[in-house]
Structure 1
């Protein structure tokens, strides 16, 4: 229970992207994040979220939803009650992670210890290539020099993109993210192209509303649900359509639900990917705890920014390291 003198602050921050970032839905040149801070007993807990229009969220709406709980935070709102007060989504994520961070700082125990988990270790992360022409993506893949690449696809010419990238980086591991950009009609052909390119995983090939078609289409490459899964509520309906799920704290509504979702998914036979929105190290830090059990880790958000917050996560090549207490947890 948070001290009754707890105070809540909410702010919006903007971080320019290095160049631009393009997916099947469009391009952006900056990451816009909402930060929640809960202060009590001389300590401040922080959490960061990214409102996502695809899920009906806006920056102003998420900031207002967080700020609307100011009185309840002051009165001692805890994480368990927060799960009931807010639905899964960005606003709950920022507050949930801020409350975890505050408890760690006030007790002097890291979040992993509070959860009864072993200390997190560095994990190999994907490096994301923005959607572009085949030749441009092939050049970017070669220049990245990374062992694990995530390719943003979902537009005409994807088979050519895959072939060009594979030729440019014959040894790299590849993950594809179509961002709902394919149709059931082109899916068998794109599945074959992915298999030919030795792709390890395909994220969300079909629109979430149309993904029932996956139940009757052969899957030579494992398929991962992203937009189709948020929290535990919709998990069971996906078992015949997907092999894996992508857990993002902004979708799940925080670390609390993300860990529960991971437990439920593994029990139902899914393997795990942990992902992120385009955000700073403060958003990646709690996800590093979920990353410890994920087969594919995609926490490269800060690497795509012109600058990260300080202190940030430490990245050494393709390795992402757990956060220092000064950052989170």
Structure 2
């Protein structure tokens, strides 16, 4: 096969947050991103990877992984071959998305068309409240867009989390509220938490238990939808969620890019699971491929740039409870 040579540019960019962001077990102050650009000499495509902090997939790991396959890519490897060159991770995400945009420009068709989707529409997206004192989270809930769904970070401290949920519900009596435990609970404390969530009309509970403890959910009554995040890294995990979770949260950094993200969404639907798209706190260059995936999703959580002290230009816009993402940001032809 006659392969056209490609050029790969890799760089690290850091984006600080407005303020520290707290979840169960972690506090974040910036996002370090791997930016990949692939060129055929005429056209180029870009992608961005934030990695997966709880897997050790940090900026050094992403950069090393991308460098490891530089030779194959510059010798003409395809996006399909990339899926076998790297495991699902942030490096593959950055490269996969760069390939998608390159292909769009080569074909003269936007990425959404290449993916077999209808023209993108604005998506109703959650805005996330980092874990804080209950009164501070209630104040933050009042301050955000009143049309936006609210996602609440918990810490695994049952008493404090109950106070958080009750305070936020009092502050936003009519809002859609989902909570994310980020693996903070065990089976016993989870059974105490769930009645409080249902009493406060919480719409869903994300990742209550540690990855690897999914069997502890067997036989547990789910009074509200359970969402798999850390328990659902890649396509290989999807079928194992049935009977324990109701929703799969797809993040491109976990699954290694838009190619696998689309495959997960389609398989999940055939298995009777709802689909959510989330993010690992990247810029608008991360949100844009996820926005394409979001066209297939029931729940959208693409608010990463709202935490950043600065974003890319042009960037996504948040208004009236929706994320708006023109394809001039990424993926246009």
Q: How many residue pairs are counted as aligned between the two chains?
A: 329
Query: Root-mean-square deviation (CA), in Å?
Result: 1.5
Partner of 1:38: 38
Partner of 1:104: 104
Unpaired runs of 5+ residues, structure 1, are: none
Mapped to 2, the partners of 1:145 and 1:309 lie a distance apart of: 21
Q: Does 1:258 align with 2:261?
A: yes
Partner of 1:155: 156
Q: Deviations over 1:16-71 (max 9, x none)?
A: 11111110121111111111110113222000011223113121111111122222
Q: SS at the partner of 2:222?
A: coil
Asked if the contact 1:2–1:78 (Cα under 8 Å) also holds between the matched residues in 2, the reply is no
Partner of 1:243: 246
Superposition deviation, residue 2 in structure 1: 10
What does 1:136-175 correspond to in 2, within 5 Å?
Answer: 136-146=136-146, 147-156=148-157, 157-175=160-178
Partner of 1:183: 186
Mapped to 2, the partners of 1:106 and 1:238 lie a distance apart of: 38
Q: SS at the partner of 2:82?
A: helix
Partner of 2:125: 125
Q: Deviations over 1:232-279 (max 9, x none)?
A: 212222211101100111111100000001111111110011100111
Q: SS at the partner of 2:188?
A: coil
Mapped to 2, the partners of 1:137 and 1:20 lie a distance apart of: 14
Mapped to 1, the partners of 2:44 and 2:80 lie a distance apart of: 19
Mapped to 2, the partners of 1:257 and 1:193 lie a distance apart of: 36
Partner of 1:194: 197
Unpaired runs of 5+ residues, structure 2, are: none
Mapped to 1, the partners of 2:115 and 2:108 lie a distance apart of: 14
Q: SS at the partner of 1:128?
A: strand
Asked if the contact 1:202–1:221 (Cα under 8 Å) also holds between the matched residues in 2, the reply is yes
Asked if the contact 1:129–1:151 (Cα under 8 Å) also holds between the matched residues in 2, the reply is yes
Asked if the contact 2:66–2:91 (Cα under 8 Å) also holds between the matched residues in 1, the reply is yes
So what's the TM-score if we normalise by structure 2? Answer: 0.95
Asked if the contact 1:124–1:319 (Cα under 8 Å) also holds between the matched residues in 2, the reply is yes
Asked if the contact 2:101–2:330 (Cα under 8 Å) also holds between the matched residues in 1, the reply is no
Q: SS at the partner of 1:216?
A: coil
Q: 2:283 aligns with which of 270, 273, 280?
A: 280
The answer to which of 319-328 and 89-98 deviates more is 319-328
So what's the TM-score if we normalise by structure 1? Answer: 0.96
The answer to which of 286-295 and 162-171 deviates more is 286-295
